[in-house]
Structure formats: structure tokens, C-alpha cells
Amino acid sequence: MKKTFTFILVIILIIGGAFFAGYYWYNNAITSSNSTSSSKVVFEINPGESVEIIAQNLLKAELIKDSNPFIIYAKLNSDKVSGFQAGYFEIPQNSTIVEIFEIFQKAKNKEDIKITIVEGLRYDEVADALEKGFKGVPESKFNKQEFLDIVENPDNYKFSSKVNEYLSLYKSAGKNLEGFLYPDTYFFAKESTSFQVLEKMVTTLFEKLDPQDFTKFNSSTYSFYDYLIIASLIEREALAVGEEPMIADIIMKRLEKGINGVKLLQIDASLLYPAKDWKANAYLLKNSESLYNTYKYPGLPPGPICNPGIHAIRAALNPEANEYYYYLHDSSGKIHFGKTYSEHLSNINKYL
């Protein structure tokens, strides 16, 4: 009888321990922040999507670490699930599952204008995309020429205290805002002004950066603006995110060690920037007197050549060490690296 009682007690303790361990895991999973970054990700729920599909999409977007707690929470809170709205949501990466459920109760205002700015555009191309996005909206106060003037002459304008702090700390004196117009999917109110649109883009850039990024910026011999220039070069030179860290290392080696003792970056994309034509023949521009001619002038060009995304910025901060000094893309877009100029010439003959 005593043995039976002891056995039953052990079973109860095991079950109880498992229950409390499971409860601790679940409670921790739904209340812990997904990330340390407060940057926002645009997430979409389509009409009729199940909780399981939404959970998988959140996992793919790296907004949750495990789909199971999300699904369990949904089953225990069916009233919240019934309040899910189809539409777009801006979800901070450091949200908890509980917070995501609250966010899903209200989709972005259907009256807002959704505009996607892709990575690697010059500021004039950004202005074109914004003008197209606001086209046909009677309430719109966006004006392309005004937007361009603010970008080109930021020192003539008074920004909000937050944006003014960012620019005073991180923009080099006398420079325009090329590089600061963060590429993302935006939701602008119909009546947004050019000034409001621009401020939102600049603010988003700094929201995307996390404390670790700023630690690296602040401890480097290069300035934030230098890194923005390097990131813009990486953005235009790489055809895939996976290439960016290796290209970053090649750029840094050319910048610091040079090729045969000459610190020329020799980057075609920089040549194309003043021409305002990414499809121009870079070879024909190699003798130009532009300061963006990195075949003639050593060091970094005067400013960013486009507006880079977060992957390119982080690649600039975290280059992947390699032995190469050269690279090219073949007609299919595949990258080929070379350690020496003769190896690079061989790749040109072989792949181009």
C-alpha cells in the first residue's frame, strides 16, 4: 500500500512538474520580445487566411521564433482571432505574441497610400516613385519639386527635433540627403506633404538600425556618413543579399590597402551616378572628371550613390573576410571572384 501511494505521488509530481514546465514555456513564449530591434516590418493578412498560415508567414518574416505558441494562444483566445482584420500591419520586430494579436485587431487605414521604395534608387528616382504613388489623389499635398529641393538643400529647412538631431549627428556638413531616404513599404496619409514624407523616410532609416549597429559606427575610424557611402556602393554592385558581405570586404581592402599600392575603388556603379543612368556604358565614362570616377580619384566618392537598405548597411559594418580583390557578374547574374587582376581578366574572357 505504501509503495502504491509513493508511486502515485511520484506520478502526480511528474505530471505537475510537466504542467508547470509547459506553462512556464508557454507564458515565456507569448510574453517575450521576438528581437531587440524596434524597426517595423510590413505584414499582410489576406482574407480567409487561417491562424496556421498567419503563424507560418510570421515565422518567415522573422516576427516570431516559433509558430506553436502563436497557434496555442489563438486557440485559447478565439475572441481575439475573430477580431483579426485582413490588410496591412506595421509590426515592430521586438513585439511579443500578445502584442501582435493586439496589432492584428486593426489593419492600417484603408485610406492610406501604400508606396514601396525599393533598395538602390537615387533620390530623383525616389521622388519619381513617390509622385507616381500619390498621383490621382485629390487630397495629396506631395510635390515632387518641393521634395527634390528639400533633399538637395536640407540646410535651408527646419526639421523636427528628432530628424534634426539625426542629421546634425550623422550627415556631413553641406551634403544633401542622398542615402538617408530609407527604402521600405510606407503607408502615407493622403494629405501628406513632401516634408512629412521625407521626414518619415529619414526617421525610418534610424529606426531600422539597432544599438549594436550604432556601437560599431561609434567605435570605427570611419564616420556614419562614410559607411552610408560604402553601403550605397554595395547596394548597387551586389545582385543578391548573400553577395554583399564579400563585396563589402573587397571594397574595404581596396580602400585601405589599394590595388598595387593605389587606393582606387574602381567601381562602375559610382561612375554611373552622375550620368543618372544605371544602364549607361561605364567603360565610356572612365575618363570623366567627375569626383564619382573611382577609377581616377582614390578613396570614397563625395557622397552616397543611392539609398541603401539595411542589409547593405550591415554588410558595410560586417564585411566577410576573403582573399579576393575583383568580382564580376555573368549574363545570368552569377558572381565570380578573382584574387588577382590576371584571374579577373580570365573571368572576363570566360564569363563575359
What pLDDT sits at residue 111? 65
pLDDT in tens, 44-78: 888 888 889 999 999 998 999 988 989 998 888 88
What pLDDT sits at residue 110? 61
Sequence-distant (6+) residues with CB within 8 A of 222 are 230
Q: Please say whether the beta carbons of 279 and 205 come within 8 A.
A: no
pLDDT at 203 exceeding the cut of 80: yes
Q: Is residue 341 part of a domain?
A: no
Q: Could you say which of 149, 183, 208 is where a domain stops?
A: 208
Verify that 197 and 227 share a domain, yes or no.
Answer: no
Split at pLDDT 50, 70, 90, the class of 142 is very high
Percent with pLDDT over 70 in the chain: 92
C-alpha cell at 92: 515592430
Mean pLDDT (whole number) for 8-37: 71
DSSP character for 141?
A: B
Q: Is residue 266 part of a domain?
A: yes
Q: Is residue 308 part of a domain?
A: yes
| 127/281 Cα distance (integer angstroms) | 24
pLDDT in tens, 79-125: 877 778 777 888 888 999 989 988 888 766 666 888 999 999 999 99
Name the phi and psi angles at 90, rounded to 5.
-100, 110
Q: Is residue 329 part of a domain?
A: no
Consecutive H or E run containing 185: strand 185-188
C-alpha cell at 334: 552569377
C-alpha cell at 67: 509558430
What pLDDT sits at residue 9? 59
| 68/58 Cα distance (integer angstroms) | 12
Split at pLDDT 50, 70, 90, the class of 202 is very high
Q: Is residue 44 part of a domain?
A: yes
| 223/290 Cα distance (integer angstroms) | 23
| 301/167 Cα distance (integer angstroms) | 20
Number of structural domains (the chain) is 3
Verify that 123 and 95 share a domain, yes or no.
Answer: no
Verify that 120 and 195 share a domain, yes or no.
Answer: yes
Give the chain's largest Cα–Cα span: 98
When the pLDDT of each residue in the chain is averaged and rounded to a whole number, the result is 89
pLDDT at 16 exceeding the cut of 90: no
pLDDT in tens, 274-303: 999 999 998 898 989 999 999 999 999 999
Verify that 143 and 200 share a domain, yes or no.
Answer: yes
Instruction: Residue 266: count other Cβ atoms within 10 Å of its Cβ.
Output: 17
Verify that 99 and 117 share a domain, yes or no.
Answer: no
Q: Could you say which of 49, 75, 103 is where a domain stops?
A: 103
Q: Could you say which of 103, 134, 160 is where a domain stops?
A: 103
Split at pLDDT 50, 70, 90, the class of 309 is very high
Q: Please say whether the beta carbons of 102 and 92 come within 8 A.
A: no
What pLDDT sits at residue 24? 61
Domain of residue 117 covers: 113-208
Verify that 250 and 313 share a domain, yes or no.
Answer: yes
Verify that 117 and 99 share a domain, yes or no.
Answer: no
Q: What is the full DSSP assignment across 254-268? A: HHHT-BTTB-----H
C-alpha cell at 62: 522573422
pLDDT at 42 exceeding the cut of 60: yes
Verify that 79 and 153 share a domain, yes or no.
Answer: no
Verify that 202 and 273 share a domain, yes or no.
Answer: no
Q: Is residue 286 part of a domain?
A: yes
Q: Is residue 344 part of a domain?
A: no
Verify that 314 and 225 share a domain, yes or no.
Answer: yes
Verify that 244 and 272 share a domain, yes or no.
Answer: yes
pLDDT at 331 exceeding the cut of 80: yes
C-alpha cell at 273: 551616378
pLDDT at 17 exceeding the cut of 70: no
Q: How many CA atoms lie within 13 A of 307 on its CB side?
A: 24
For residue 186, the cross-strand partners are: 115
Q: What is the CATH number of the domain that holds 58?
A: 3.30.1490.480
What pLDDT sits at residue 86? 78
Q: Where is average pLDDT lowest: 161-165, 206-210, 260-264?
A: 260-264
Split at pLDDT 50, 70, 90, the class of 21 is low
pLDDT at 231 exceeding the cut of 70: yes
What pLDDT sits at residue 229? 98
Instruction: Residue 333: count other Cβ atoms within 10 Å of its Cβ.
Output: 9
Verify that 246 and 316 share a domain, yes or no.
Answer: yes
